[in-house]
Structure 1
Amino acid sequence: MTQMTQQGCATGPDAPSGAPAPALTELDREARMGGAGTERTDREIRRIDLSDFEDRREEITQQLWDAAVEVGFFQIHHHGIDLAAVRRAFATTRDFFALPEETKAQYTLRKGLNAGWESKTQVRPSIGTPDQKESYQITRPYMDELWPTDTELAGFRETMLGFEAQCWEVAMRVLSCFADRLGFARDFFADAHDPSQDSYRSALRMLHYFAVPEEARGGLGLWRAGAHTDFDCLTLLFQQEGQGGLQVCPGKEAQAQEWTPITPSEDAITCNIGDMLMRWSDDALPSNFHRVKTPGPDEDQGARYSIAFFAQANRDVLIEGPGRKYPPITAEEYLQQRISANFDRKVAG
């Protein structure tokens, strides 16, 4: 689910000029995560029921906190988004990526704004090759002239904006639980991710991982998405049954690279903690490495589709943990540092 080169799973490859040059410790760690590692299936990816949310808030908060602290990934169900809306969003996603290349190219990703279409542009420090995918990102304040017309794809804008709004509601509900545990006001993160502001930076990303080419089906030379962490606060990932490949490597196992597969489920949203929330929590909530594995010869090697929502604080919001472990920094400054680090590494390499 992070902008690698901005949010890992979420954003584009641009570095703003004049951005500060941060230490590359995190990227050094990522650069060492390119090996196959081993698979570990005995680690539980918890499924957390959000039904009767207000009546069960204390119980749900404890479950979310435990899952986040232990693995950094969890799945939520009875989350409030109707399955028909999820299926409609996936159908719209498929229709968009089925458009001719020249049509999609009219809506090319805007540099530094995380909005628009890109294909094979993200190069992870962990593997040094482009992710085998294309994506289209929706970041509300920057979408002028980036929407397909109704002639090209009828109802696209309304469908995906409606879905993005539903994702925001779910993300803020989960983040309100973390706010409770961190000692912040319950609506603290909702205010920090206010979609009515021009500084809004949360994004909905539609993803199409390409089918494995016929000539490459005997081997595993390419990663669909190399190992990375997400740069946001919280990622919501929608997956389809039978289209697996997502794996997580929690911090304690990162040195040994023990990867646990996360089984896709149509009725559940896979969630993970991002780097921004890790900093905001004074490292209480870990942002862990994850990747999308290329399917092997005995697996379905067709196309894979997913939809991710990245809850990323508005640009002008100040990030400061309850214990003030780190100096305060605005969300924009924080992202500039991470983008600059990736850009510098790309140039240096």
Structure 2
Amino acid sequence: MASSRLFEAYPPFPVDVPTAILPKISLDKLSSGSEAEANELFHACRTKGFFLLDLQNEPAGDGLLRDIEALFAITREVMDLSLEEKTEYKQHPPLLGYKAAGIMKNEKGQPDRCEFFNVGQDDIRGNIPRRANPKPVQDNRETFMSFMDNASRVLFRIFGILEAQLGLPTGTLAALHRQDQPSGTVVRMIRYPPQTPRDHGSSLLNHTDYGTITMLCNVLGGLQILPPGASNEDSNWQYVKPQPNCVIVNLGDALVEWTGDILRSNEHRVIAAPGKQAEHARFSVAFLVRPERKVSMKRLVGGKIPTAAEDGKEELSVSADEWELKKAVALIAGADCARSKGGRELRTTNVPVKVG
């Protein structure tokens, strides 16, 4: 999340709107080996699928906060370019570049209200030939690299805790996300336009993320989550209140699949920001972490994870890139109003981990 300085430039988040109660996890405590903090993180990943991560007072976190400040400025520069210039970089497989507002559909079949620009990890790290990008991106490739480096350090800390809690060998999840291998991981710069009281509507349909983990950096409200088990009615949706020096972290469907539904991917959407915040354009930066393209989406074997045979389920025998393409097409069409999933009970004991 951005620092307090950026928050001071906007109206405050109102106190009279339904707001989700999310745990705030300290990266500093996680890095110091706090068992209580690790347990709270794992509990959040199983029950809510969302948590706030306080980045302060930890080297990678402090570096990430500086990168976020810089990326907010770059996001404004990119979005302030003319539509004609942005359209020169319009998206095509592998879904890098610019997406104009209205290309996707919301849950009612109406055009979405967000525009964004995806900068691929593969592009920045040289896993693919360098792409053409608008000047604000090309001139700041080092900033994107720094952001990805610091965000990945944070990510691998989270992975390590999940592995330990699941009874998996250290490095199991990191091995599915090697940074020198092609993946769908992107930095997404987003702008939502202001909305008038008479024109409040859904900006991005309700969905679950199909990747591994998302780290969201934003100042204004608008993100909402549906509490697990609640019916999909407007009265049940809750705003997530952004907080200075924190990122909003949510788990994606890949972790649910790999862990046999132990971890949770929770339904969420974006609507108009609450109160007077809706009068302002809403900028966000998201780090969408996705697996290496060629890894299998079959569930992991061992530890506390039940086998597909025990559940009476057929294995998901597709690669990550096949999985993501199918999910992306459905999301663009407004057909992927996926419901929250995961949060099943754990085994009481580990089983041997299959190697090789």
TM-score tier by shorter-chain length is 0.7 to 0.9
Residues 125/283 of structure 1: CA separation in 2 closer, same or farther (3 Å cut): farther
Residues 74/44 of structure 1: CA separation in 2 closer, same or farther (3 Å cut): same
**Structural mapping, 1:239-318, within 5 Å:** 239-240=218-219, 243-255=220-232, 258-295=236-273, 298-318=276-296
Amino acid at match of 2:168: F
Which residue pairs with 1:18 in the alignment?
none
Q: Does 2:71 match 1:89? A: yes
**Residues 80-107 of structure 1: CA deviation (Å, up to 9, x unaligned):** 3323322111111111111222222221
Which residue pairs with 2:87 in the alignment?
105
Matches of 2:108 and 2:165, distance apart in 1: 36
Query: TM-score w.r.t. structure 1 length?
Result: 0.77
Amino acid at match of 2:148: E
**Structural mapping, 1:210-225, within 5 Å:** 210-212=193-195, 217-225=196-204
**Structural mapping, 1:1-349, within 5 Å:** 40-41=18-19, 43-78=20-55, 80-82=60-62, 83-109=65-91, 111-124=92-105, 126-142=107-123, 144-149=130-135, 155-197=139-181, 199-212=182-195, 217-240=196-219, 243-255=220-232, 258-295=236-273, 298-319=276-297, 320-321=299-300, 322-325=305-308, 326-329=314-317, 330-339=319-328, 341-342=330-331
Q: Are the equivalent residues in 2 in contact too, given 1:229–1:288 (CA < 8 A)?
A: yes
Amino acid at match of 1:205: R
Matches of 1:153 and 1:337, distance apart in 2: 28
Residues 234/154 of structure 1: CA separation in 2 closer, same or farther (3 Å cut): closer
Q: Are the equivalent residues in 2 in contact too, given 1:248–1:291 (CA < 8 A)?
A: yes
Q: Are the equivalent residues in 1 in contact too, given 2:117–2:188 (CA < 8 A)?
A: yes
Matches of 2:333 and 2:104, distance apart in 1: 13
Q: Are the equivalent residues in 1 in contact too, given 2:45–2:264 (CA < 8 A)?
A: yes
Residues 144/121 of structure 1: CA separation in 2 closer, same or farther (3 Å cut): farther
Shift, 1:52, TM fit:
4.3
Matches of 1:169 and 1:253, distance apart in 2: 34
Shift, 1:67, TM fit:
1.1
Q: Are the equivalent residues in 1 in contact too, given 2:98–2:118 (CA < 8 A)?
A: yes
Shift, 1:61, TM fit:
2.2
Matches of 1:285 and 1:307, distance apart in 2: 24
Matches of 1:253 and 1:193, distance apart in 2: 33
Q: Are the equivalent residues in 2 in contact too, given 1:148–1:156 (CA < 8 A)?
A: no
Shift, 1:173, TM fit:
1.6
Residues 191/94 of structure 1: CA separation in 2 closer, same or farther (3 Å cut): same
Shift, 1:145, TM fit:
3.0
Amino acid at match of 1:251: P
Shift, 1:336, TM fit:
3.5
Matches of 1:127 and 1:299, distance apart in 2: 24
Matches of 2:274 and 2:145, distance apart in 1: 35
Amino acid at match of 1:327: E
Query: TM-score w.r.t. structure 2 length?
Result: 0.76
Q: Which secondary structure does the structure 1 equivalent of 2:88 belong to?
A: helix
**Residues 146-191 of structure 1: CA deviation (Å, up to 9, x unaligned):** 3223xx6673222223212222221222122112222222212211
Amino acid at match of 1:126: E
Residues 91/278 of structure 1: CA separation in 2 closer, same or farther (3 Å cut): same
Q: Which secondary structure does the structure 2 equivalent of 1:75 belong to?
A: strand
Matches of 2:290 and 2:38, distance apart in 1: 21
Matches of 1:123 and 1:344, distance apart in 2: 6
Amino acid at match of 2:61: I
Q: Which secondary structure does the structure 1 equivalent of 2:244 belong to?
A: coil
Q: Are the equivalent residues in 2 in contact too, given 1:124–1:227 (CA < 8 A)?
A: no
C-alpha RMSD over aligned residues = 2.4
Q: Are the equivalent residues in 1 in contact too, given 2:272–2:278 (CA < 8 A)?
A: no
More RCO (CA 8 Å, sep 6+): 1
Q: Are the equivalent residues in 2 in contact too, given 1:72–1:272 (CA < 8 A)?
A: yes
Shift, 1:298, TM fit:
4.6
**Residues 285-320 of structure 1: CA deviation (Å, up to 9, x unaligned):** 111111112136654421000111111111111222
Residues 343/263 of structure 1: CA separation in 2 closer, same or farther (3 Å cut): closer
Matches of 2:70 and 2:163, distance apart in 1: 32
Q: Which secondary structure does the structure 1 equivalent of 2:161 belong to?
A: helix
Q: Gaps spanning 5+ residues in structure 1: where?
A: 1-38
Shift, 1:219, TM fit:
1.5
Q: Gaps spanning 5+ residues in structure 2: where?
A: 1-16, 124-128, 309-313, 336-356
